[in-house]
A and B are shown apart, each in its own frame.
Chain A
Amino acid sequence: MNFDLTAEHQMLQDSLRRFLKYSCNSETRNEALSSETGVTSDLWHAMAEMGVIGAFFTEEQGGFGGTGADIALIFEELGRANIMSPFLDGALLSGRVLAAAGELDRVADLINGDLQLALAHGEPTSRYDLNYVRTTSVNGILNGRKAVVVNALASDVLIVSARISGEVSDENGISLYFVEKDAAGLTIQDYALIAGGHAAEVTLDGVEGSLIGEEGKGFALLKDAYAIATVAQCAETLGEMTAATELTQEYLVTRQQFGRPIATFQALAHRMSDMLIEMEQARSAVIRAAGYFESDERTRDINIHAAKNLMGRAGRLIAEESIQMHGGIAMTQEYELAHIAKRITMADHRFGDTDYHLEKFMALTQP
């Protein structure tokens, strides 16, 4: 067993960390936050040039990476730098669907930084269930509504799931389609998200789609893409939790009340210690989810469900305790921690929450 990064991963981590440190600060973040789409295109292109998007895909898919470990490493750095660009939704989640479906031309465009995508799958009543699809497709004509579609406005084209057959919860009978942004019958109601970025309600009223992959076989592609996206989300949250923990640690030794640093109050010192303990657990959970990603599906899924559940719990602790132990200053929009805490907390609303993954874990481990 060996927990060291490979030489290549070490290089990637170093260069990414250096690049993000210099190119991203609260100014660029606020710029992205207040822009119309929530995205700054400069960063997207710069990252593509560095090969970051290419590392989301395997060599057969036209990339140069694509393993759980590659993806965890990159997203942890994005989280640590508190980057708000939609690499997760706009490139990884939707890109992995396309790569698995053999749409390699589009994947090449993604890798070059010339394309941004959005995956419109969840619906107003599907909550976190991947198999619930009410949107219908009859001969490629789509009708239905998609909920909280992250990056819809900034994307160049949408990937939409729709049912061609079966019951609303059947895994079989789900197809995937490209839908052009200017397609007749398509409505995109865009809004900002509380933790940064944008999403939209997407309404399909007799919209023409062009099929991706095989008819009715979309579920397997979605499940795999959501699996890697969940690993990425956990890693990103780990990076954000690291940043929150570092800020809090620094603040406790600097802030003086009653004539001494507040870190000297045991009521706070022990809780800081608990945060540090949870950080180690969180890191291990992410390492497992990433490291077992290439194993058999059951092992992969057990470790992903475990990680997302643990990150939900540890993330809540880190976000809430960081704010509490800072006091009022952490409640202000101006202070970096506020953004980080919001991102950590809202990650629990993506790709299944703490309870959802606990249930899935129980189903796999307690037959």
Chain B
Amino acid sequence: MDLNYSKDDLAFRDEVRAFLATKLTRELSEKVRLGGDLTKDDMEGWHAILNAQGWLAPNWPKEYGGAEWNAVHRHIFDDECASAHAPRVVPFGLSMLAPVLQKFGNQLQKDHWLPRILSGEDWWCQGYSEPDAGSDLASLKTKAVREGDHYIVNGQKTWTTLGQHANMIFCLVRTDSTVKQQAGISFLLIDMNTPGIEVRPIILLDGSAEVNEVWFTDVEVPVENLVGEENSGWTYAKYLLTHERTNIAGVGFSTAGLAAVKRIAKAEMSGGKPLIQNPLFAARVAQVEIDLMAMSTTNLRIVSQAAAGGAPGVEASMLKVKGTIIRQEINDLARRVVGPYAMPFISEAVEGSNEPLPDPHDAGPVAAQYFNNRKISIFGGSNEIQRGIIAKVKMGG
């Protein structure tokens, strides 16, 4: 065993740092640090910078243009990007659709869609959830009926993240209602500009507009946009869910978040002393830090095992549950640390004006982020569903 980074790892870390120092503009990193709404251009611009470096797809195989890094390098990369406040890479095309296409897509689909994900020509969104099919995804009702060389799609998807920017959506649709639910689902790629598609924004509790409803009325989809076999979509969806996902534990975000809490707690005064010297607050910070240190190692252990050929199913669920608990705990500390200054609604209106922000801590909208990040234990398979998976795998049933 050796817990230290190797020479090669350290050299890689220096390379990443140098890259971030030259390529990530201060304007963009400040926007990320202060929780500002990133525009489509911001996100596409950052993707292009990573792509030019060959670093946009860390876990894709080299044959498709990926970096194919090992687990430690990926960990280093995530950590450095989060500490430098680089924008999050939008995962839908890169880490959700791409692995499915690489494994189950035909040659034409791979040749056509994969390069466009890297180049940014396509912006993908994920069309799984429906109003009545959340945790119980297999009960989905959006219907695709084959007519000649098209499917005709009718129904509604919801919670579609960044659907307002997307030109493509990958969807689970029902192609057979006469069989067991899971056996009648197909995986379709749909052009958002097809007539009959309507996108309606949903405003979240922090005022952000990041999710949407997507409505389908008699939408024609060419049959060559079916991935794999008809009625086998559930297998692909499950592969996507259990497929080792980068950064599921969010260690980088937590590390950056905790550093910000400490910075503020040193400056904030309480009872005539810096808040970080207050035993109650200091204990809260230390408790999370202990959890995060262990999580960082748990993450590395599990991701290395998976890279060595182990099957990461239940472990991914474990990382998701504990990783989100730690992140949410840090969001909670971040609102506590600023005291009464958590209350202002730091909206775009305030950011856009010339008036200085009311908050003297330069902390950004910590309360809004606390509320917004309640989502991370709900989406991508809620923490209850993940615990169910762990129990089922470990105890049968």
Contact = CB atoms under 8 A, between A and B. Distances in A.
B2 interface: no
A128 interface: yes
A332 interface: yes
A149 to B, nearest CB: 10
Interface string B203-231: 11111000000000000000000000000
Contacts of A189: 355, 358
A355 B343 contact: no
A328 B129 contact: yes
Interface stretch (A72-80, A190-198, A229-237): A190-198
A139 B236 CA distance: 77
Nearest to B131: A329
B344 A194 contact: yes
A334 B134 contact: no
Interface in A105-134: 122, 124-129, 132
A86 to B, nearest CB: 13
Contact of B345 (A129, A192, A316, A339): A192
A345 interface: yes
Interface string B265-292: 0001111100100101100100000000
A333 B378 contact: no
A148 B341 contact: yes
Nearest to B136: A257
Contacts of B135: 257-258, 327
Max chain B C-beta neighbours (<10 A), residue from A316, A328, A332: A328
Given A194-B345, A323-B374, A346-B367, A341 B384 contact: no
A324 interface: yes
A262 to B, nearest CB: 8
Interface in B360-384: 360, 365, 367-368, 370-371, 374-375, 377-379, 382-384
Contact of A128 (B340, B350, B365): B340
A194 B132 CA distance: 30
Contacts of A268: 384
Max chain A C-beta neighbours (<10 A), residue from B205, B360, B383: B205
A252 interface: no
B75 to A, nearest CB: 28
A331 B375 contact: yes
A201 interface: yes
B280 A346 contact: no
Contact of B360 (A124, A316, A356): A124
Interface string B66-108: 0000000000000000000000000000000000000000000
Interface string A263-298: 001011000000000000000000000000000000
Interface in A239-255: none
Given A341-B205, A346-B342, A194 B358 contact: no
A126 B271 CA distance: 8
Interface residues of B, number: 55
Nearest to A335: B205
A127 B269 contact: yes
A199 B132 CA distance: 40
A350 interface: yes
Contacts of B136: 257-259
B281 A355 contact: yes
A193 B134 contact: no
B203 A334 contact: yes
A192 B205 contact: no
B322 to A, nearest CB: 15
A201 B284 CA distance: 29
B344 to A, nearest CB: 5
B205 A349 contact: no
B387 interface: yes
A205 interface: no
Max chain A C-beta neighbours (<10 A), residue from B268, B269, B339: B339
B61 interface: no
Interface in B119-174: 129, 132, 134-136, 139, 158-159
B336 interface: yes
Given A127-B340, A345-B370, A332 B358 contact: no
A333 B388 contact: no
A358 interface: yes
A327 B204 contact: no
B204 A331 contact: yes
Nearest to B336: A353
Nearest to A268: B384
B202 interface: yes
Given A194-B367, A327-B378, A331-B375, A349 B340 contact: yes
B271 to A, nearest CB: 6
Given A327-B135, A328-B134, A349 B358 contact: no
Interface in A309-367: 316, 320, 323-324, 327-328, 330-334, 338-339, 341-342, 345-346, 348-350, 353, 355-356, 358-359
B340 A148 contact: yes
B134 A327 contact: yes
Given A256-B132, A346-B342, A355-B281, 17 more contacts: A127-B340, A189-B358, A191-B350, A194-B371, A199-B344, A257-B134, A258-B139, A259-B136, A320-B374, A323-B378, A327-B382, A328-B134, A331-B205, A345-B367, A345-B371, A349-B335, A355-B284
Interface of B: 129, 132, 134-136, 139, 158-159, 202-207, 268-272, 275, 278, 280-281, 284, 328, 332, 335-336, 339-345, 347, 350, 355, 358, 360, 365, 367-368, 370-371, 374-375, 377-379, 382-384, 387-388
12 contacts: A122-B340, A125-B269, A191-B350, A193-B344, A199-B344, A201-B358, A268-B384, A333-B207, A346-B342, A349-B339, A349-B342, A355-B281
Give 6 nearest A-B pairs by CB, closest first. Answer: A338-B205, A257-B136, A194-B345, A333-B203, A148-B340, A355-B280
